[in-house]
Amino acid sequence: MSDLAQRRGSVHFIGIGGIGMSALARYYLSQGFRVSGSDLGEAPAEFKLGHFKKFNPRPDLVIYSQAIPSDDPELILARELNIQTRTYPQALAELTRQFRTIAVAGSHGKSTTTALLSLILIRAGLDPTVIVGTKLKEFDNKNFRAGKSNILIIEADEYQDAFLNYSPALILITNIDREHLDYAKHFGNVKKSFLKFISNLDENGVLVLNRDDAPLLELGNRKLGARKIDWYSLEQEKLAEKVKKHLKIPGKHNLSNALGALTAAQRLGVSEKVALEAIADYRGAWRRMEYRGLYNIQNTKYEILVYDDYAHHPTEIKATLNAFKEAFPGHFLICVFQPHQSHRLEILFKDFTQAFDRADALILLNVYKVVGRDSLNPSVDSGKLAEAVEKRRSGPDQVIHLPSLDKLKETVTGLIKSPAPAILVMMGAGDIADLTPQLVSRI
């Protein structure tokens, strides 16, 4: 890439609409490269877009998402023309070797923690470049920030062991959970991957871990060479209380994320005062308990608040619903959930049945099928999940499987117990957020 960087050539992205891919594309654009891209779904408008049967002009480098199949026509063409190709993690790995890289990893909370740490370092004048897996208002609703220092902050994804490509100087890990088991197969492999990731850290590097997470505590108790561990915990009561007073986003999980960001920032020389100021200014990110507007319903005395949230794993669902109950005590909480990937639903089915206890009503949409990761004949579906949740009798008072989206608004309206105040959360990692505009009168 060094020769390419000197020439400021052209880069084509296959799958440019992905949250990581679009951020990396914006990095290349900020460095003066000519950037083009293609995607089956929506893609950022600032790039030259389209599916190319032939490259015109011919790019110097093609970067492709790990979700792209090996028989993709553009990928085949690039290889036939002997154009350099890189997967997203391979391309990002090259950047991590050029910068002093801070990698934020974990099964849950990566985006929020990356965002908080980035804003702290920006306020401290460290001017980092940032690649994050969500859109931030502070970044003009983008997932990338171009800095002028040698510091790079990345959200390091563990899926398909992508993070093993990176060369960080500081690693922050929020937690380790049973996630991406379609790839990892079992939890033991997940933990092994995180251990390998930690081994990428130089012995003089900085390792920041969440002491409240049992699997992380187990890893931390192993021999990790001469690496010093900086632990953070909600049991640091005085510090946690101080952070909680400044933090504007609810939930213990977010308090933990903020403590992790603060701990890492302090290891980089940032004062507690500056860190708390940045934490106080943070108002959340895209699809992380994101307020979207008022529910569009006539003749109701109370406002029904509508939110979007990306939670798609049982641990995330529990934490998010708890946070809503904490932030809005006494409100009737309606959760509309779209399961993401049949395999995840099957492997974690029992956990999913127990994940919605804090909701007062639950509407389950059909499973969002992930191309290349879902079986054609799954053993479980949203209907079976609805039956299992209802049988427990300790969860939501009402559980509805809604296979037809045409009746979504009618179904939600029927659940609202006017005049009681209510919260409606549209939850999932699929395309459920596309439905939200139909339900709100003001965004």
Domain boundaries, the chain: 2-87, 99-281, 290-442
Q: How many alpha carbons fall within 13 Å on the CB side of residue 324? A: 31
Q: Determine the pLDDT at residue 54.
A: 79
Tokens of 38: 């293609």
Residue 305 confidence (pLDDT): 94
Q: Among residues 349, 294, 351, which one has the least CA distance to residue 319?
A: 351
One-letter amino acid at 312 equals: H
Domain 2-87 and domain 99-281 have a common topology: no
The rounded distance, in Å, linking the Cα atoms of 111 and 316 is 13
**pLDDT recorded at residue 28:** 96
> Which segments in the chain show pLDDT lower than 50?
443
Helix, strand, coil share of the chain (percent; to 5): 40, 20, 40
What's the pLDDT at 227?
Answer: 77
Q: Residues 133-141: contacts with CB within 8 Å, 24+ apart?
A: 133/19, 133/20, 133/23, 133/157, 134/19, 134/285, 134/286, 134/287, 134/288, 134/310, 135/285, 135/286, 136/285, 136/286, 137/283, 137/285, 141/286
Task: Note the CATH architecture for domain 2-87.
Answer: 3-Layer(aba) Sandwich (3.40)
Q: How many residues does this entry show for the chain?
A: 443
* Structure confidence at residue 366 (pLDDT): 95
Is residue 263 within 8 A of residue 239, CB to CB? The reply is: no
Res 225: pLDDT? 65
> Would strands 142-145 and 129-136 be described as parallel, antiparallel, or unpaired?
antiparallel
pLDDT tens, 309-368? 999 999 999 999 999 999 999 999 999 999 999 989 999 999 999 999 999 999 999 999
pLDDT of residue 443: 45
Q: What is the pTM of this model?
A: 0.90
How far, in Å, CA of 195 to CA of 200, rounded? 9
What's the distance, Cα to Cα, between the start and end of the chain in Å? 42
Distance CA 369, CA 71 (A): 20
Q: Structure tokens of 294?
A: 């008022």
Q: How far apart are CA 94 and CA 84, in angstroms?
A: 14
Fold of 290-442: Protein-Tyrosine Phosphatase; Chain A (3.90.190)
Q: What is the CA radius of gyration of the chain?
A: 22
Distance CA 105, CA 190 (A): 12
Q: What is the pLDDT of residue 36?
A: 92
Segment (H or E) for 364 = strand 361-364
Answer CATH for 99-281 from 3.20.20.80, 3.40.50.720, 3.40.1190.10, 3.65.10.10? 3.40.1190.10
Beta-carbon contacts of 83 under 8 Å, excluding residues fewer than 6 positions away, are: 55, 58, 59, 60, 61, 62
